[in-house]
Structure 1
Amino acid sequence: MGISSPGIGSGLDVQSIVSQLVALDKQPLQQLQVKASGLNSQISAYGQLQSQIANLQTQAANLASAASWETMAVSSSNSSAIVGTATSAAAPTSFSMEVSQLARAQSAGSGVFATGSSVGTGVLKIQLGTWDKGEFTSASDGTAVFSPGASSEVSINITAADDTLAKVAAKINAANAGVNATVLHDASGDRLLMRSSTTGAASGFRIQAVDDDGNNIDGAGLSRLAFDPENATAGLALTQTAQDTLATINGVSVASANTTFSNAIDGLTLTATQVTTAPVNVTVSRDTTSARANITAFISSYNALNNALSTMTGYNASTKTAGTLQGDSTAVGLQTALRQLVGSLGPGGGAFSRLSDIGVQFQTDGTLKADDTKLNAAMTNPDALKTFFAADNTGTASDGLATRINDFASGLLDPSGIFTTKTKSLQDAVKRNSDEQTTVNTRADQHQTQLLAQYSRLDSNLSQLTALNTYITQQVAMWNKQSTN
């Protein structure tokens, strides 16, 4: 098949003619493309609004949470000695507290062993419990008495004749007997240091030795590691007694095995960090810091949403451009509904009826602004604020403002809410627009094919006529020449 180029035979600019005719067919594409761009911009705008509604719901949910209004704070007149934390179960109160001693663990140490020497063989029996009398009381009133605790006695076998202090310490620590063993090295040799794993008077320990040398209390062989003053052993020497933290609250004695009092007062945990020299005043009160922060966060979130809606639905006179959602009834309706809801009355019968009562006012541009002085004054009445924002009466008009806003936002974000349905509608419109563009292109392509075929036939016919005309002209010229001769 030969190469064909329409227009060569006739001299017509067929490609240009066809291109211009097809361009006329494709003129609707420009309008469709502009419309598609607008639809995609609207989808993007609704996505942005959906995100901001979700943020507003989060802030409203914080304000609607009863727990956020029940946070308690603990202050201490001497935070170097006593600090505290409180849960919502704590009641506002104030009391005096003094600390006479802090909890500590029992400690004991051995005599000096030659580095690397054997300590003897046998069994060490470790028992946790409480010591009384003797060295364990300030009065040293008689022979020490040990009262075993609830934990079972732990036996540790020291069977190797070459077991050093380090190996014995490792076996003690591995036994989890409630004591920790450490080997101390110095110029004179090695010592075994023993300490209770926890503090408190009940964390004292007794170590009895069953010494293979036949004498369990002579301070020789394995009995050098015993600690049993009740039975006059000559092993480890006491370096620190186990004791509770002792304190008074309003003059009433309290004790703790550690430095924390978690059950002395409901909902309150107190921690002693040092012995006091004077009474410490502790005050438990409502902590409005987080609630105030929640109100500020809600205002910021609402303002961001309001500004976005205003920009999207408005007209910028300086740039002479319309917002992405100008004239969109859904967006305009949403903005109106939000403003009405935020400006509506709270539950009846409370100290506060509207946001303006707590110092939060609408501005001319539709945003909210807090009057710090008035809001701070309102924060002194947290129960009334809790009712205004967080009252929950199962979707009735008596619900708190934040509860209603949370429910409203939840409905908007529901799978059947306006964001889902509106976005689906816009996506369907984009799909229809795309189909229309495809149809226009298809028709234009078909028309182009038809035009090229038609002009190819015309070109062929004109080419034949031109050839015939040339032949006749040549013949006439020859006849004229012959007749002249």
Structure 2
Amino acid sequence: MRFRREEIGMAITSVGIGSGLEVEDIISKLVALEKKPLEGLQAKAEKIQTKVSSYGEIKSLVSTLQDAVSKLTLDSGWNTLAVKSSKESAVSVSVTGIAAATSFSVGVQKLAQSQSTVSTAISAGGTIGSGQLTLEIGSWNAGVFTAGTAAAVNVTVGATDTLAQVAAKINDSGAGVVATVLSDASGDRLMLRSKETGAVSGFRITTADDDGNNADNAGLSRLAFDLAQPTVGMAANSYQAAQDAVATINGITVTSAKNQLVNAVPGLTISLNEVTPAGADALITTTVDKEAMTKNIQEFVDAYNAVNTLLATSTKYDSETKTAGDLQGDGTAVGLRNSLRSVLATNGMTGNVFNSLSDIGITMGRDGNLTVNGAKLSTSLDDLENVKKLFIQRNADGTATGLAARMKSYTGEVLSFDGLLNNKTDALARESDRNLSEQDKVNDRATLAEARLRKTYTALDVKMGTLQALANYMDQQVSQWNKKND
């Protein structure tokens, strides 16, 4: 009896059966040895990602610091005023530019208003008559109309047009008049109002009535408004005249087409809300808003401390717990912290009342964080101009010597496209790419090794299977010979 090689091969269904060895276990252990370098590479990759995350947080905090110091580099940041009106319901004030601390009285004699009028009623849904309306914007004086600079606008009205359709045409014409239809028990009425307030925003409406009579109060002439013909159309009805707002500031009369006085007092916008009784003017006071300036300075201190604390925590080594920060030994992080401290410590100013943060009550502790002495800062802000110089002073050549100006300049360099933080982040990205490439190489080598091992052990299995079959065959032959000899 002979065993064919093919039959022997078919009998082997898994690597290791022919040889009796724990081949899968051997291969997995050998492959694991090939992949052993991955442990170090993966641990390093995790540290790289931790650094990337840390630098992302640092970048965010430095950006917040830059925003905070930017407020302190602007004149507007030091011109903050607290404004108060003794009669807020009648006169309110807001700071809209560079203003000075002052006080003054405001009386309101007239509020600005638009011209408005209404037509007589026609049957609900009925037509008004055909023809053409000519709308002009200008001013009225003793019944005489003076046209403004805007061109007159013509609106054609058809014989079947209802008041609603006429109103839509007027609104679409851009004539500066707003039209609305009022429906009541008497029927439909056309209400007209000039779009803007002020004496120069009055309107005149003349008609070319297709019935041939522009003054019969029968056809389209019912929508005319011309004070030179006070018995025709809407001019015969009650109306509201357009007018300017009239107010007094410390007794001086001022007018405005709107219910606002813009820069009548530099840097302030005065809103006129209602007429004040004679002799009962509103008292307006503007004072330096120390609270707002203190808030801006505190925001700067908080932003600086946030960056400093993160850098200190990230770069320190705790000897008690024997643990290192995520950026311990990182030269870029250590250098950034030292540079930020140096910007605040460097004194490029001479001859000023305040030459350092400590002069106004802001001191730096051993941990590098800033602390504000509120009482001393408040007293210092009484000398606002010199506190302002401490933060925003510049030399004649434009170089920054003020603390905030220097910090803004430095953080701008750090955050720039080719600045310190972006360069560091790019370097970490390249390091991460190299690490991943090394991991791929290890995995590729392990894959090749596994394929090689499987090929070797498969060949061994086949060979061992053949030898085992031959041994079994020889055992059978010996047994047969022994039986014959018996």
TM-score range, shorter chain: 0.7 to 0.9
2: CA distance between counterparts of 1:466 and 1:223? Answer: 123
User: Is the alpha carbon distance of 1:220 and 1:320 closer, same or farther for their aligned partners in structure 2, counting shifts above 3 Å?
Assistant: same
Let me know the Cα RMSD of the aligned residues: 4.3
1:276 is aligned to 276
Kept in 2: contact 1:110–1:193 (CA 8 A): yes
2:393 is aligned to 391
Give the aligned length: 473
Q: CA shift at 1:351, angstroms?
A: 2.9
2:336 to 334, 337, 354: 334
TM-score by length of 2: 0.78
Q: CA shift at 1:189, angstroms?
A: 3.4
Q: CA shift at 1:262, angstroms?
A: 2.1
1:90 is aligned to 99
Letter of the 2:149 counterpart: A
2:147 is aligned to 148
1:140 is aligned to none
1:42 to 37, 51, 56: 51
User: Is the alpha carbon distance of 1:33 and 1:82 closer, same or farther for their aligned partners in structure 2, counting shifts above 3 Å?
Assistant: same
2: CA distance between counterparts of 1:410 and 1:457? Answer: 68
Q: CA shift at 1:226, angstroms?
A: 3.0
1:243 is aligned to 243
Q: Deviations over 1:391-430 (max 9, x none)?
A: 3449987521122122222222334433344344444444
Q: CA shift at 1:175, angstroms?
A: 3.5
Letter of the 1:375 counterpart: L
Kept in 2: contact 1:346–1:388 (CA 8 A): no
In structure 1, stretches of 5+ residues that fail to align are: 134-143, 474-485
1:53 is aligned to 62
2:109 to 80, 94, 100: 100
Q: Deviations over 1:250-286 (max 9, x none)?
A: 2111111221222533433221000012122223444
Letter of the 2:50 counterpart: S
Letter of the 1:276 counterpart: T
Letter of the 2:249 counterpart: I
Greater shift, 252-261 or 169-178, is seen at 169-178
User: Is the alpha carbon distance of 1:111 and 1:175 closer, same or farther for their aligned partners in structure 2, counting shifts above 3 Å?
Assistant: same
Q: CA shift at 1:245, angstroms?
A: 0.9
1: CA distance between counterparts of 2:409 and 2:67? Answer: 11
1:138 is aligned to none
User: Is the alpha carbon distance of 1:285 and 1:453 closer, same or farther for their aligned partners in structure 2, counting shifts above 3 Å?
Assistant: same
SS at match of 1:340: helix
1:180 is aligned to 178
Answering whether residue 79 of structure 2 is matched by residue 70 of structure 1, we say: yes
2:305 is aligned to 303
Q: Deviations over 1:283-329 (max 9, x none)?
A: 34445555433322222222222221122112345644221122223
2:203 to 195, 202, 205: 205
1: CA distance between counterparts of 2:255 and 2:131? Answer: 39
Kept in 2: contact 1:227–1:237 (CA 8 A): no
Letter of the 2:405 counterpart: T
In structure 2, stretches of 5+ residues that fail to align are: 1-9, 476-486
1:354 is aligned to 356
Q: CA shift at 1:246, angstroms?
A: 0.9
Kept in 2: contact 1:72–1:87 (CA 8 A): no
Percent identical pairs in the alignment equals: 44
User: Is the alpha carbon distance of 1:168 and 1:48 closer, same or farther for their aligned partners in structure 2, counting shifts above 3 Å?
Assistant: closer
SS at match of 2:49: helix
Q: How does 1:359-378 map to 2 (within 5 A)?
A: 359-378=361-380
User: Is the alpha carbon distance of 1:295 and 1:443 closer, same or farther for their aligned partners in structure 2, counting shifts above 3 Å?
Assistant: same
Kept in 2: contact 1:395–1:404 (CA 8 A): no
SS at match of 2:99: coil
User: Is the alpha carbon distance of 1:238 and 1:310 closer, same or farther for their aligned partners in structure 2, counting shifts above 3 Å?
Assistant: same
Greater shift, 237-246 or 215-224, is seen at 215-224
Letter of the 1:88 counterpart: G
Q: CA shift at 1:80, angstroms?
A: 1.0
